Chains A and B, each alone.
Chain A
Amino acid sequence: MTSDFLISLAQAVTKGLLTGMVYGLMALGLSVIFGVMRVVNFAHGEMMVVGMYCAWAASEYLGLSPMLSLPLIAVLFFGLGYALQRTLISPFIGRPEHQQFLLLLAIAMLLVNGCLAIAGPDAHGVQMDSQFDSYELGPLVFDAVRLHAAIAAVAIAALLWLFFKYTRTGKSIRAAADNNMGALVVGLDVRRLYAFTFGVGAACVGAAGALMLTIIPVTPFLSAEYTLLAFVIVIVGGLGSMTGALMGGLLIGVSEAVAGLVLQPSLKSMVSFGLLILVLLLRPQGLFGGKSGT
């Protein structure tokens, strides 16, 4: 193992960790939604792409950098998610999977093609001021933009953790997730909590989208890949576990980066899918999940 290779490896790992944080934030949204309501959000990637478009629009028409428009987008998405849940999704909770799947597929189609119709198929990126900057730490080079995005992602995740741990609504949501019947018995308004949860999940995804835009230009065709990625991360990390989603994000980010380095880059997704298959078979509750499979 030459030192050159070790440096490249360290470089890949760092890059994987940084990107992985943003992936983790996106997956967090899904974990919250699926973990609490058992709704299979097949529109997750699409929601993130819409978030990316919103951030781009804010930059293009309002002159706001994605970092600044992020809180606005998060609030907007919370509202939209809440509304979406109350209107369309809530009748589908508890229905057979294929119906949920079809519903969210329809929503996904509408979202993605809405973006296509409004913004066209071309890629739209944002030129950050620090676009070409990087930080150096010894032989390692850190991409400035990625670093900022990762820090923001961690901050948001921390806020979320505080919310779930210390606020009343947060604790009620966790209760409803753990024991639906019990929550009803105790008098929690489960429907409102579900809507709130969906809103929170959507806000996460919107925020992740704003951050992702700083790294990657947005096209309508990104969505399918991200939906899949979110599911892989959530399953590998463990459903219903916030730590799981973040760690899963990091793990997938790093494994993609390292696989890209060691194998052919075009094969890097294979490792993620291989990992998914292994986890599904051997430890379906995920690496950090608590309950088994349910």
Chain B
Amino acid sequence: MRLVSRLVEGAAPRSLWGLGVLLVLLLAAPALLGKYGLSVLILILYFAYVGQAWNILMGFAGQLSLGHALYAGLGGYIAAGLYFHYGIGPWAGVFAGVAAAALAGAVVGYLGFRFSLAGVYFALLTIAFGEFTRLAFDHWDWAGGSGGLFLKVDAKVDPLKLRGGPLLFYYVILALTVGIFILCRALLESRLGRYWLAIREDPEAAQAIGVPVLRCKMIAIVISAGLTALAGVWNAFYYNNLFPETAFSMGRSIEITLAPIIGGLGTLFGPIVGAVVLTGLGEVFTDASDYLHIAGIKQIFYGLALLVIVMFRPAGLWPWIADRLGFGERRR
């Protein structure tokens, strides 16, 4: 009970009611939305989740990672590989996947932080590791190499093996998203969260007052990597196929970062708002491009939307919306 009270401390009653209503709506969503609507909502939740995981490293601890697909890919491949070769179900395989990703995160983090790489240099390090792993997986036969890894598909529903339709995967990703939301709130309220804030705002001053900077950064990247891996596992079992060139691609990494940046870095709701806006826009633009029949038109609209948002709302959409709606989330 004390835990729960810690979590809700400082939040306006209005926000809590709003959250409650939202949760009920989300639980009932499959009944309310059609097949198409559900598939869009699944996509939104996925990007919200994975964006939130990335946000822990960037928004909370201030390190720009452009190679997060590495962790998602590792999680997905390890869990899928174990299932494909040994029949080990995803609920067990996920531990191996998360462990692998956490280890990778630790390596990247240690190399980056220990050698004082910051800003764009750190980002390039993350990109390099992502690309390196992509090429390695291209040549790893156990994982299917560049030909890809294809999981066996079944029309039967089997939650233990994550075999099933969109409904099953919807509730899993919903659970994951709610879970990470609560986790992030807890982290932000904790001492670690305050250390992160200090490091993000002024690393040297933080060091001076005794904040264990290296350790906090390491914790951030390991947590972020591990959580991202969960998304990778979910992804692998939902789509049933994995290719190194997409699983570890820089395009994937960039995709992960868009929702939180647009929604608002370092905020709790940023990634969710960002995911809603981006996916919504994406669908609108897909429709438009189907109608207009010009190759690439969807991405052009997308690029324009990004441009407008970054020029006029650089801090992200959520802080602006929150102000308007009176949900004063503590701006971090």
Listed in ascending order, the chain A residues whose CB lies under 8 Å from chain B are: 40, 88, 91, 95, 97-99, 101-103, 105-110, 112-117, 120-121, 220, 224, 228, 231-232, 235, 264, 266-267, 269-270, 273-274, 276-277, 280-281, 284, 293
Contact = CB atoms under 8 A, between A and B. Distances in A.
Contacts of A266: 135, 138-139, 146
Given A98-B64, A284-B121, A224 B299 contact: no
B188 interface: no
Contacts of A116: 295-296, 299
B230 to A, nearest CB: 24
Interface string B123-157: 11101110110011011000000100000000000
Interface of B: 58, 64, 66, 111, 115-117, 119-121, 123-125, 127-129, 131-132, 135-136, 138-139, 146, 250-251, 254, 257-258, 261-262, 265, 294-297, 299-300, 302-304, 306-307, 310-311, 314
A107 to B, nearest CB: 7
Given A40-B120, A113-B299, A116-B296, A102 B136 contact: no
Nearest to A38: B120
Given A98-B261, A280-B121, A280-B125, A110 B135 contact: no
B174 to A, nearest CB: 28
A134 B311 CA distance: 50
Given A102-B261, A270-B135, A113 B64 contact: no
Contacts of A121: 295
A269 B303 contact: no
Contacts of B135: 266-267, 269-270, 273
Contact of B120 (A95, A97, A108): A97
Given A95-B314, A113-B303, A276 B295 contact: no
B119 A117 contact: no
Nearest to B257: A98
A270 B132 contact: yes
Contact of A264 (B139, B250, B254): B139
B135 to A, nearest CB: 5
A136 to B, nearest CB: 34
Given A114-B300, A117-B295, A293 B132 contact: no
Contact of A280 (B115, B297, B311): B115
A270 B295 CA distance: 32
B332 to A, nearest CB: 14
Contacts, number: 116
Nearest to B250: A224
A109 B115 contact: no
Q: Point out which of A98, A117, A267 has the most chain B C-beta atoms below 10 A from its C-beta.
A: A98
A71 B119 CA distance: 36
A224 B250 CA distance: 8
A103 B131 contact: no
A40 B123 CA distance: 11
Nearest to A275: B128
Contact of B132 (A97, A112, A117, A277): A277
A97 B299 contact: no
Contacts of B304: 106, 110
9 contacts: A98-B265, A101-B64, A102-B258, A105-B306, A220-B296, A224-B251, A231-B124, A267-B139, A280-B128
Contacts of B116: 293
Nearest to B304: A110
Contact of B303 (A40, A106, A276): A106
A117 B297 contact: yes
A105 B132 CA distance: 22
A103 B58 contact: no
Contacts of A114: 296, 300
A98 B58 contact: yes
B306 A102 contact: yes
Contacts of B64: 97-98, 101
A269 B146 CA distance: 15
Nearest to B116: A293
Given A114-B300, A293-B121, A281 B111 contact: yes
A121 B296 CA distance: 9
A277 B295 contact: no
Contacts of A273: 128-129, 131-132, 135
A224 B306 CA distance: 18
Given A114-B300, A280-B124, A281-B115, A109 B132 contact: no
